[in-house]
Structure 1
Amino acid sequence: MEATPRFPSLDVIRGVAVMGILLANIVAFGLPEAAYFSPLAWGGSELPEKTAWFLNFVFVEGRFRGLFSFLFGASMLLVIERADAAGENGAELHLRRMFWLFVFGCIHLYLFWWGDILAHYALVGVLALFFGRQSTRTLVLLSLALLVVALLLNAATASALFAAAARATAGDVALWKGFASAFGVPPRAELLEQIAAMRGSFGAAAAWRWNHALDPLTFLPIGGAETLGAMLLGMAALRTGFVTGEWSRHAYARVALVCVPLSLIGYAAIGSHTMATGFDQRYVYLGSLVVSEPFRTIGYVGYAALVILLLRPDGALSTRIGAAGRMAFSNYLGTTLLMDLVFAGWGLGLFGVIGRTWLYAIVPLVWAIMLVWSPAWLARYRYGPLEWLWRSVVRGRPAALRR
């Protein structure tokens, strides 16, 4: 949903986020689900693949997803406040937006890709509405409290996984096998089932997702605290002017110089330990979802500050990235369509064929497409195609599209 006047910094950060999220997700597009967390699952497990995993873990993992959530919170508050200022009911508008986002997300999840985040954002976005009138200080404190809650919940799950390692009971065996499907090495038959489905017909892939993808309501209690915390922190960042470029360059530099190195060092230590354990699924889970939690938050805040420092409002690259950010919804879903053309059976059928290292070679090509088509489209139209559709269904009438 577009609002004017726009903040260039917000658009550019969003553009960086939607480009960076592909770096995080490319493995999930091209390889079986378990390979996202462990190179032992599929896609090669030699030194080049392990190095690719490590570099992605240190520089990308969690930070761009967190940045997306952070910006979602800032944007939703901006839309609500502007609607209220224009005499509309901002809360009602927001709920309509979340309803349709949930619809789009479910279509994306079941028909195109198991890793959809939009339906989850819609549910958490409804919860975030109840905190929109809180003070900046309260939003920050609530965000930190939710960070602790997420950490403790995941730590409890990790404790149960460690306890089940002996596989002394049928329950322990079931728990261990369940975690192997996502964080370890699933049985080969399970991997081949997913590969066959993804290389098969559109219907076969959709059926696999319907039976195996984690539905939004089930995922809500698992990831909701972390996502809501990031959204509330994004609201606070909007209130303080952090994401709209209103801080001094010295302040942004200080945030970036503290947060970015601290996050990278933390992730490097966690990644090194995970590799040293031979990607034992207990430590994969512990490192990816528990110990990394604070470094994830610190990292995406630092990345946002760094992007604003590097922003050149009239620069060609900043303008193109900002255009990609204005069309983040279209670019996020458009990326899935492009990846399906490469990996799905109704496309080139390369799912599970390309190794982890070479998958990353696809990313710059997709970035180039984003940076070319986004400004070209916005030169003629007010909104991206899916932004226009979202706005139209929320308002109940077609929005003016052409400039």
Structure 2
Amino acid sequence: MTVAPPGDRIASLDVLRGFAVLGILIINIQAFALPESAFSNPLAAGGFAGPDYWIWIAGHLFAEQKFISIFSMLFGAGIVIFTARAGPKATRLHYRRMLWLLLFGLIHACLLWYGDILMLYAVCGGIVVWMRGWRTRTLLIAATALLLLTATLTGLMGATLREMHNALVEFDRRAAVTVPAPDANAELLMGMSAVEVRARLDESRELWQPPAARIEEETAAFTGSYSDELRHRIPLVLALQGYTLAIYSWRTLGLMLLGMVLLRSGILGAGWSTRVHASLAVGGFALGLPVVWIGLDRNLHSGFDWIEAQTVNWLFNYFGSIAVALGWIGLIMLLCRSEALAKLKLRMAAVGRMAFSNYILHTLVCTTIFYGRGGLGLAQFNQWDRVQLLLLVLAIYALQLWLSPLWLRHHQRGPLEWLWRRLTSPGN
């Protein structure tokens, strides 16, 4: 039994979207439950021995940047589908849709959780809509260029960090053997003195491996009153969203364009032969996993050195994750073509049809467990290890795989999908 589409929906896209939104939680659970630094540096919190070690390794290899890449591709494909069905008013309706998504994201980020992706998607969605009519080859070239742009910008930032580190090491070496010692307030690099360079490096190091006092401050903010939580979160949202829009948005734009290419080619619609999807699955994993492993192995051998991790090692997962994401797409498309796991596919498709609602439900459940919210939450922030977090993720999966089909048995859309549609097109 294959998944039957509700109305004119593409059923394989719903299954893939459901798979992606569930997969995102494997990584996001760290940002919900642990200090901010643990999202990038597993040594900062959450445990990194025994089962915790292997859970993090598996998550990094198969999930980190992989499911969000799939979700970004699907968002780009969804723009093509929406505008094709919306008729002459497509562009105007699309911008209303993105404007409301931006507002949803702003509320989500400021009031609930700093790790929001809705604002990024709204901004990028407002740009890529103008590219949807480009030739497939042009879309592919543009996607590649945009993906390389984020890598280049981040690489330049990493190179600057290494240059600052090397300059300070040399300054300290000279200061140890020179009498009188060189002036720490004189210009050392890029208009900065040694004092200023040291301060910036210390700040970067503390973001990667924060001292106990900083972790205690973050824990107190998220487990205390709601006003404490807001005071801590708002500056974090401004910094994170600012960086994301300036640097990471180019990757997101590139992935959205790649999603348009995959839709146009028929790969996302399960329209190609089994052999094509099998080749995509095998090729994506065979190419991507070794690349991701190289960066992971370098981090493990360096003890997650903050300079190495931020200047070189991140590049391997940046590029490898795209190939692994394509491997997952090929594998899920194969599943959609087969008769296997029919009931699971129907449930996964329901999760995908309610992706917006399920994404926000992740936030509501997890922040209730890990934040204090002035006594309304359980205040478990920075208390759980990775085994416990994985069990929670699986429990949320079970909840959403049960709840989504149940809701759609009585309603055509998820609650937030319904609201978004009504706000976008009030007359419908």
State the 1:4 CA deviation: 4.5
One of 335, 347, 358 as aligned partner of 1:320: 347
| Residues 1:388 and 2:418 are matched in the alignment | yes
Tell me: CA distance 1:3–1:133, structure 2 relative to 1, closer, same or farther (3 Å): farther
Does the CA-based 8 Å contact 1:201-1:345 persist in structure 2?
Answer: yes
> For residues 179 and 18 of structure 1, what CA distance do their matches in structure 2 show?
31
The letter for the 1-side match of 2:254 is: G
Please name the residue that 2:77 is paired with.
Answer: 74
> For residues 311 and 23 of structure 2, what CA distance do their matches in structure 1 show?
23
Please name the residue that 1:93 is paired with.
Answer: 93
Deviations 1:337-393 (A, max 9, x none): 000111010311100011233211211100001100000100110100000111111
Tell me: CA distance 1:120–1:187, structure 2 relative to 1, closer, same or farther (3 Å): same
With 138-147 and 169-178 compared, the bigger mean Cα shift is at 169-178
State the 1:288 CA deviation: 6.0
State the 1:297 CA deviation: 1.4
> For residues 257 and 16 of structure 1, what CA distance do their matches in structure 2 show?
18
Please name the residue that 1:337 is paired with.
Answer: 364
State the 1:181 CA deviation: 4.6
Please name the residue that 1:170 is paired with.
Answer: 195
Tell me: CA distance 1:154–1:282, structure 2 relative to 1, closer, same or farther (3 Å): same
Tell me: CA distance 1:122–1:3, structure 2 relative to 1, closer, same or farther (3 Å): farther
> For residues 105 and 129 of structure 2, what CA distance do their matches in structure 1 show?
19
Does the CA-based 8 Å contact 1:161-1:175 persist in structure 2?
Answer: no
> For residues 330 and 13 of structure 1, what CA distance do their matches in structure 2 show?
16
Residues 344-359 of structure 1 aligned to structure 2 (within 5 Å): 344-346=371-373, 347-359=377-389
Does the CA-based 8 Å contact 1:3-1:79 persist in structure 2?
Answer: no
> For residues 284 and 68 of structure 1, what CA distance do their matches in structure 2 show?
25
Does the CA-based 8 Å contact 1:95-1:126 persist in structure 2?
Answer: yes
Please name the residue that 1:375 is paired with.
Answer: 405
Does the CA-based 8 Å contact 1:39-1:49 persist in structure 2?
Answer: no
Does the CA-based 8 Å contact 1:154-1:289 persist in structure 2?
Answer: no
Does the CA-based 8 Å contact 1:37-1:284 persist in structure 2?
Answer: no
State the 1:46 CA deviation: 3.3
With 366-375 and 41-50 compared, the bigger mean Cα shift is at 41-50
Does the CA-based 8 Å contact 1:49-1:356 persist in structure 2?
Answer: yes
Per the normalisation by structure 1, the TM-score is: 0.93
State the 1:265 CA deviation: 1.6
The letter for the 1-side match of 2:133 is: R
Does the CA-based 8 Å contact 1:139-1:232 persist in structure 2?
Answer: yes
Please name the residue that 2:46 is paired with.
Answer: 43
| Residues 1:225 and 2:250 are matched in the alignment | yes
The letter for the 2-side match of 1:280 is: D
| Residues 1:190 and 2:214 are matched in the alignment | yes
> For residues 284 and 268 of structure 2, what CA distance do their matches in structure 1 show?
16
State the 1:289 CA deviation: 3.8
> For residues 20 and 200 of structure 2, what CA distance do their matches in structure 1 show?
34
Please name the residue that 1:255 is paired with.
Answer: 280
Please name the residue that 1:159 is paired with.
Answer: 159
> For residues 240 and 36 of structure 2, what CA distance do their matches in structure 1 show?
15
With 42-51 and 133-142 compared, the bigger mean Cα shift is at 42-51
Question: SS of the residue aligned with 2:410?
Answer: coil
State the 1:175 CA deviation: 3.1
Total equivalences in the alignment: 393
Please name the residue that 2:177 is paired with.
Answer: none
Please name the residue that 1:244 is paired with.
Answer: 269
| Residues 1:216 and 2:241 are matched in the alignment | yes
> For residues 89 and 153 of structure 1, what CA distance do their matches in structure 2 show?
37
The letter for the 1-side match of 2:304 is: F
State the 1:215 CA deviation: 5.0
> For residues 227 and 358 of structure 1, what CA distance do their matches in structure 2 show?
31
State the 1:152 CA deviation: 1.1
Q: Say what the alpha-carbon RMSD is for the aligned residues.
A: 1.9
Deviations 1:60-84 (A, max 9, x none): 1110111111110000111011112
Please name the residue that 1:139 is paired with.
Answer: 139
Gaps of 5+ in 2: 172-193
> For residues 312 and 331 of structure 2, what CA distance do their matches in structure 1 show?
25
Gaps of 5+ in 1: none
Question: SS of the residue aligned with 1:332?
Answer: helix
Q: Percent identity?
A: 35
One of 2, 11, 16 as aligned partner of 1:8: 11
Deviations 1:290-323 (A, max 9, x none): 2322212111111111111012478100000000
> For residues 16 and 283 of structure 1, what CA distance do their matches in structure 2 show?
33
State the 1:99 CA deviation: 0.5
Question: SS of the residue aligned with 2:131?
Answer: coil
One of 201, 226, 232 as aligned partner of 2:225: 201
Please name the residue that 2:183 is paired with.
Answer: none
One of 32, 52, 56 as aligned partner of 1:53: 56
> For residues 73 and 399 of structure 2, what CA distance do their matches in structure 1 show?
25
> For residues 313 and 69 of structure 2, what CA distance do their matches in structure 1 show?
13
